[in-house]
Structure 1
């Protein structure tokens, strides 16, 4: 049984790469002639990512690799909405991008160098995670322009405990109208950071993705300075996720 699971995971990784390569046939010309700088073509790129990942998640479910519960995702994708989520596995961003059209997201800098994924990232104008002001400025700019933005505040996949960086909450207070937390529960755990792809569980993986209540940021501690608002929001979200998610 475990051999079959390993073969299935190997096939799905290959299938994922193949889907990326097909998309790159479209993405690379858009980038080469800089059409991705035009909003219309940026939306086309994001729509293609949305459809590709929807198809990939469908394949993983049909082939019996995983099952999932993801309700109320129509609440996502509002103007100037920042969406935060914990990050237990490689597929977290794929799940969310497959349910929310034209959402922007912050992606790990390593992915921007990946031959399979970098054309999609550039064509869709996703924001590459960096440790300088560029990340803050781009994130604030897209929120103020009306985009919704997905951020994983851990910065990388969850290891032994939830620990959020402060930057996403600075972005939320200074640029967003709504903050929506998403809790991602995965059982059994797989595709963790530092774990080889073939170390797969014997049983089917089950995801439960829960969308929490919106936090209207215009009403959050409005009588306090922004520095206090950021610090308090950061502390509250860390505490909420540590209680909600068992790593």
Structure 2
């Protein structure tokens, strides 16, 4: 029996070394690819495409297909695996806010790879970042500024059939701790009179969390499960009694806290 146990342990060590190397390769490729796209392709789009909405559409499509290729590569080199459930529902969500929990650094990549359009709210400081400011401008992303500026921008995007992706936690979830949602997503939904599409992301092992570096890989290959759930209307919460927008947003945030708790799906339950 001893030789068998030794072989199994040796195989596990080799597999882990491979996944560390493959993870490093994927992230290096992601950084280099992002820099090349920002420097050449997105800059070219801004110069040649004068229609702003057309430029935004082409930029976001480029990001989507780049992310599709990236997550396929990670699966191909066995860094991780993933399963998507109900993503076809996103085709019905023009003018909608998409909210999701946030367990990993890859959540935006997974979601943006399957959303027909993905308008994001980004940190104001990123507009001063040389490497990403061009992408932000070309993609039409919104800077997280004062509400007097942010809300009209969100309403304009939603009225133009955009889809705003928001992680209500504001940062990645701390493993083992309950989610704590901020009210930003609910406030935007209530004040812009928008529907919300719920998405949950479950990963069977902690990976690329806020506390873990890219090289702190789990012992086993992680499996991500992205589930597109029901759509809810902000009107249903604003219309209860004479609730003010602030009270309606607070009520809606409580509902989101309950509905965004991810649950693993068995493989044989996949649809």
TM-score scaled by structure 2? 0.81
Match of 1:143 among 158, 176, 185: 158
Match of 1:94 among 106, 109, 112: 109
Match of 1:171 among 188, 194, 198: 188
Which stretches of structure 1, 4 residues or longer, exceed 6 Å deviation after superposition?
none
CA deviation after TM superposition for structure 1 residue 89, in Å: 0.8
- Whether 2:85 is the aligned partner of 1:67: answer no
CA deviation after TM superposition for structure 1 residue 35, in Å: 4.8
Counterpart Cα distance in 2 of 1:75 and 1:3: 38
Between Structure 1 and Structure 2, how many residues are aligned?
244
Match of 1:183 among 190, 200, 205: 200
- Which residue is 2:55 aligned to? 41
SS of the aligned residue for 1:198 comes to coil
Instruction: Give deviations 1:139-191, integer Å, cap 9, x for gaps.
Output: 23312332111100111111133111111101011214321111111121110
**Structure 1 stretch displaced more, 7-16 or 215-224:** 215-224
Counterpart Cα distance in 2 of 1:30 and 1:43: 11
RMSD (CA atoms): 2.3
CA deviation after TM superposition for structure 1 residue 128, in Å: 2.7
SS of the aligned residue for 1:212 comes to strand
Contact 2:234-2:252 at 8 Å conserved across structures: no
**Structure 1 stretch displaced more, 157-166 or 135-144:** 135-144
Q: What residue ranges of structure 1 are gaps of 5+ in the alignment?
A: none
- Which residue is 2:246 aligned to? 227
- Which residue is 1:122 aligned to? 137
**Structure 1 stretch displaced more, 73-82 or 136-145:** 136-145
- Which residue is 1:52 aligned to? 66
Larger-gyration structure (1/2)? 2
SS of the aligned residue for 1:76 comes to helix
Counterpart Cα distance in 2 of 1:116 and 1:7: 25
Cα gap change, 1:114/1:69 in structure 2, threshold over 3 Å: closer, same or farther?
Answer: farther
- Which residue is 1:154 aligned to? 169
Counterpart Cα distance in 2 of 1:36 and 1:110: 26
Cα gap change, 1:131/1:245 in structure 2, threshold over 3 Å: closer, same or farther?
Answer: farther
- Whether 2:229 is the aligned partner of 1:215: answer no
SS of the aligned residue for 1:161 comes to coil
Q: What residue ranges of structure 2 are gaps of 5+ in the alignment?
A: 1-13, 265-271
Cα gap change, 1:148/1:13 in structure 2, threshold over 3 Å: closer, same or farther?
Answer: same
Cα gap change, 1:36/1:104 in structure 2, threshold over 3 Å: closer, same or farther?
Answer: farther
CA deviation after TM superposition for structure 1 residue 207, in Å: 0.4
TM-score scaled by structure 1? 0.88
